[in-house]
């Protein structure tokens, strides 16, 4: 029998409405009652959590692990290590792989590969075959294979009838739909936000309406089909306004936000550094302010990374030609703590942990995000006031495409525990 006791931490467990300084006991990989201490054969290992927050293992529902097909960018193993270093015990991987995760065989391959990872890796399945948006993927067999959601992330289904049928099938098999909101006709060949900086720099612009049209489409379909649609990486003030109004009238719709979309504005692109090129693009300050307000009032309910690794040679090209995306697993918690708690004071630490635990667990209907007795001992220990500097060359990820190298942050994970075992620590 293996046992560990975590002493004197501030235990924050939103699922059980718990916020107190207390000890936590782990026995054989599960959370155990403290009364079990007296029955142990030997003294448990001790972890001193004084001045630390002890919370359920954090969940990131928007991660690109690149396997199968793009192992030069990231592997499931290296991505899992990056997740552990960021304080995450459960991550959800996107289906834009090669081959695409649009069939049960590919899902089985991913699950088999993930079985040896240091954190829990949950797959999503594609909405359409090969993410082409032309023919539905076999959603029923994907659900049977164990996907926790369906999404064409990296792409967006443009055919509204096809999307409607996908949402209806998803309702039948009991999974949510996650959607990358991008109208190709409006976004066109845009690589940055349409506005002052796109005009000044001569870069093709992507208007805010290119996102908002699909957000509105999803609200209408969620209402029509009575199934949850989750809007991925929301970036515009208009999208926040639409989501707020729809949620107020009870529509099954939600949205998430990435740290880079509140840490940066499109002003950053003037350097032509391709690490500032992402999809959707960095927006204007007015959009950032709206995102912060949406987080504050609960309109945006989940925090994510949209971890999108690329090899150096892929990013070291002209801005127009570079792929979209940045890595984020190892910086997102630090950025959100720094921005939301310390700089803008938009939410408190309890709400931040809710947005990383019970909110994503509720959306995906997974058994995670809680410190309930008898449940798996997946935990994150956080130093909320710990100051540190981002050093990309020390990352666990196989890629280095981050715009935050050298940035000073306040707050980070200091230990990650999965199944009672420490898988990463500062």
> What residues are labeled active site?
306
CB of 100 closer than 8 Å to CB of 150: no
Alpha-carbon distance of 19 to 16, in angstroms, equals 9
The alpha carbon of 143 is separated from its chain's Cα centroid by a whole number of angstroms, namely 21
* Burial profile 107-137: b = 16 or more Cβ within 10 angstroms, e = fewer: bebbbebbeebbbbbbbbbbbbebbebeebb
Q: Which two tokens stand for residue 195?
A: 């506005």
Contact 210, 195 (CB under 8 A): no
Q: Which residues 6+ apart lie within 8 Å of 23 measured at CB?
A: 5, 6, 7, 8, 9, 34
List the alpha helices (DSSP H) in 34-159.
76-86, 104-114, 139-145
Element of type H or E holding 302:
strand 302-303
**Token pair for 412:** 């980070």
Q: Which residue do the tokens 């939410």 mark?
A: 347
309, 91 in Cβ contact below 8 A? no
Name the β-bridge partners of 25: 5, 32
Ramachandran region of residue 190, left (φ > 0), alpha (ψ -120 to 50) or beta?
beta
Write the burial class of residue 43 (CB in 10 Å: 0-12 exposed, 13-18 middle, 19+ buried).
exposed
8 A C-beta contact, residue 146 and residue 105:
no
Q: Which of 234, 239, 259 is nearest to 180 (CA)?
A: 234
Whether the upstream peptide bond of residue 99 has omega within 30° of 0, thus cis, is yes
User: Are the C-beta atoms of residues 211 and 285 closer than 8 Å to each other?
Assistant: no
Strand partners of residue 355: none
Q: Which residues pair with 303 in a beta bridge?
A: 257
> Do 107 and 125 form a contact (C-beta atoms < 8 A)?
yes
């Amino acid at each position: 029998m293996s046992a560990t006791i975590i002493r004197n931490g501030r235990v924050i467990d939103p699922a059980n409405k718990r916020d107190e300084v207390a000890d936590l006991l782990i026995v054989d990989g599960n959370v155990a009652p403290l009364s079990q201490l007296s029955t142990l054969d030997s003294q448990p290992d001790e972890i001193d959590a004084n001045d630390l927050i002890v919370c359920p293992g954090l969940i990131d529902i928007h991660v690109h692990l690149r396997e199968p097909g793009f192992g030069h960018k990231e592997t499931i193993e290296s991505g899992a290590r990056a997740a552990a270093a960021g304080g995450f015990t459960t991550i959800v991987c996107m289906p834009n792989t090669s081959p695409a995760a649009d069939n049960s065989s590919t899902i089985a391959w991913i699950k088999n590969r993930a079985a040896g990872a240091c954190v829990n890796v949950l797959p999503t399945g594609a909405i359409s075959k090969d993410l082409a948006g032309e023919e539905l993927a076999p959603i029923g067999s994907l659900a049977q294979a164990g996907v926790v959601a369906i999404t064409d992330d990296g792409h967006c289904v443009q055919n509204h009838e096809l999307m409607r049928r996908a949402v209806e099938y998803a309702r039948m098999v009991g999974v949510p739909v996650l959607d990358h909101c991008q109208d190709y006709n409006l976004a066109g060949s845009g690589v940055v936000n349409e506005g002052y900086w796109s005009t000044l720099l001569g870069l093709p612009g992507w208007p805010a309406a290119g996102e908002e049209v699909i957000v509105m489409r999803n609200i209408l379909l969620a209402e029509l089909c009575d199934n949850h649609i989750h809007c991925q990486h929301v970036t515009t003030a208009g999208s926040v306004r639409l989501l707020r109004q729809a949620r107020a009238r009870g529509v099954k719709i939600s949205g998430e936000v990435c740290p880079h979309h509140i840490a940066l504005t499109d002003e950053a692109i003037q350097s032509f550094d391709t690490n500032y090129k992402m999809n959707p693009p960095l927006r204007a300050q007015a959009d950032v302010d709206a995102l912060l307000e949406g987080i504050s009032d609960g309109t945006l309910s989940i925090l994510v990374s949209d971890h999108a690794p690329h090899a150096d040679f892929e990013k070291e090209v002209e801005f127009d030609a570079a792929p979209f995306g940045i890595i984020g697993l190892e910086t997102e918690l630090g950025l959100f703590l720094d921005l939301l708690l310390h700089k803008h004071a938009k939410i408190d630490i309890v709400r931040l942990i809710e947005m990383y635990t019970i909110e994503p667990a509720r959306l995906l209907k997974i058994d995670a995000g809680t410190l309930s007795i008898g449940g798996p001992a997946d935990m994150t220990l956080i130093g909320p006031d710990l100051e540190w500097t981002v050093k990309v060359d020390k990352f666990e990820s196989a890629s280095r495409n981050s715009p935050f190298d050298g940035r000073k942050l306040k707050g980070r994970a200091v230990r990650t525990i999965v199944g009672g075992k420490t898988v990463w620590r500062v």
